[in-house]
A = this chain, B = another copy of it.
Amino acid sequence: MSKERVFATYHIETPYDLEFAAKVMAGEQSTGTFIAVPGETEELKDQHAAKVVSVEELEQVSTPSLPGSKPPKGEVGPIKYRRGKVVLSFPLHNIGPSIPNLLSTVVGNLYELREISGLRLMDLELPIAFLEKYKGPKFGIEGTRKLVNVYNRPLIGTIVKPSIGLTPEDLRKVVRDLAFAGIDFIKDDELNANPPYAPLKERVKAVMEEIDRVADKTGKKAMYAFNITDDIDQLERNYETVVNAGGNCVMVSINSIGLAGVAHLRKFSEVPIHGHRNQWGAMTRDPYLGMEFTAYQKMCRLVGVDHLHCNGINSKFYESNESVIKSVKDCITPMFDGYTAMPVLSSGQWAGTAEVSYKSMDTVDVMHLAGGGIIGHPGGTEAGVKSMIQGWEAAISGISIEEYAKTHVELKQAIDKFSK
C-alpha cells in the first residue's frame, strides 16, 4: 500500500494529558472502537491507524473553552485544561483523494470528544494526489487579470447595493452607471441569487446588455460575478444562463453549496469562480472550535475557487486586521508550487483603506471591493472608482493619501466623506 499520508495540525485543549488526548483523536478517526473487536489486528492497525506525529505544549487555562468535557477519574483539586498543538497523520489509502471523505476523517467526530474541551483544525498538508484530482483554480490571479486586462494594481470592484430588492430594470441602471465609471469588477450580493421577484435570467439579460454596450463604446468589459448559488442541478442551469449571455464570472456562497458543490461547478465552469464565504463565522469565531482560515482556504482553492473573500482592513465585522492580513497572505501563498486564489477585500472599504492594506499585505494581487465607498462617493460612481485607484497609486508610490489628495480631487472628496 502507498506510504503517502495526510497531515493535519490542530490546537486542542483537554483536561487530560496532551499525549493521551492526541491518541484518543487518532483512534477516533481511524481504527479505534470503545471495546476491542475481532479483526482489529496489529497488521491492520499498522496499515490504517492515524499516527500522532507531534505534540507541543502551549498554555494552561482553568476554565474550559467548550462545555461537556469529562476530566479524568480521580482527578483532585482544580482541573487544569492543557492546550497544545497536535499533528496527526492519516494514511491516504484510508481516504483516497476525496475532499468530502477528507473532511469526515480529519474533522469527523473530533469536536464531540468528551476528552477535549477545545479543538480547532489549524492546517492541512495534502498529498499531490489531491492536486491531480481537483486541479485547483482554473483562473486564479493571473487568469483573472488577463480577463479584465488590469495589471500592477488591485482590481477595483463593488457589490450591487441595495443588496436585495432591485428589479432587473433598476439593476440595469446601476450597472450601466458602474460600467461607464470604468470599474473592473461588479458582484451580486450573497443575499441575491435567483429570487422570485427578480429571476437570475432577467438579471443576467439586463446586466450583460449594459456591460456589453459599455464595452463596445469604451473597450473595457467589466467582470460581473453573478450569484448562481443554488441546488446542484439548478447551479448548472444558472451557470448556463450566465455564460450563454456572455457572462464572464460566477459567484457562489461556498458554505451554502459545500466544497463538493464547488468542486462540481469547477468541472464544467469556463469562467472564474468567485467564492463568498458567508456562514464562515460559525466555523471560526470561537478560537477553540472549528477551523482556522489557513486550512479552509487550502480546501477552497483545491476545489477551484478563483477569488476568495477575506473581509477587509477596518471592516464592520469582528475580525481583527491581523487576521485579515494573514488570510490574504494565505491565499497568495502557492500551494503545490502553484495555485493561488485572488483574495477579495470587502466590507467598510473605501479609498483610504488602500494604504494600510498595501503596507500590511505587501501585494497588489487583491480584489478591492467598496460598496458605499464607491456608489456613495459624493462625486458619483466614476469619482468613487477613481478615488479607489488613486488610493492605491498613493499607497504603491509611498505617498500619504492626504498628500496625494492635494492633486487628486476624487481622493480628496473620499477622505472628506469617509475618513473618521
Contacts of A190 in B (CB 8 A): 104, 108
Contacts of A286 in B (CB 8 A): 66, 286, 289
Contacts of A201 in B (CB 8 A): none
Cβ contact within 8 Å between A95 and B195:
yes
Residue A157 is within 8 A (CB to CB) of chain B in the complex: no
Cβ contact within 8 Å between A104 and B253:
yes
State in angstroms the CA–CA spacing of A280 and B108 once bound together. 8
Contacts of A174 in B (CB 8 A): 39
- Binary flags per residue of A285-326, CB closer than 8 Å to B gives 1, else 0: 111011100000000000000000001000011111000000
Cβ contact within 8 Å between A104 and B256:
yes
CB A123 to nearest CB in B, in angstroms, measures 16
A residues in contact (CB < 8 Å) with B: 1-2, 29-40, 44-45, 47-48, 66-70, 92-96, 98-101, 103-105, 107-114, 161-166, 170, 174, 190-197, 229-235, 253, 255-261, 263-264, 267, 276, 278-283, 285-287, 289-291, 311, 316-320, 347-348, 371-373, 375-376, 418
Cβ contact within 8 Å between A256 and B101:
yes
Number of copies: 2
Known contacts A163-B30, A194-B96, A317-B113; is A257 also within 8 Å of B256 by CB? no
Closest 7 CB pairs between A and B?
A258-B258, A111-B281, A68-B318, A35-B372, A48-B165, A100-B256, A112-B281
CB A374 to nearest CB in B, in angstroms, measures 10
Most buried by B among A38, A69, A100, A316: A100
Contacts of A66 in B (CB 8 A): 285-286, 318
CB A88 to nearest CB in B, in angstroms, measures 13
Closest B residue to A46 by beta carbon equals B165
Cβ contact within 8 Å between A1 and B197:
yes
- What 9 new A-B contacts, CB under 8 Å, besides A232-B261, A256-B260, A282-B289? A33-B372, A37-B372, A68-B285, A96-B194, A101-B229, A104-B190, A104-B191, A232-B260, A258-B260
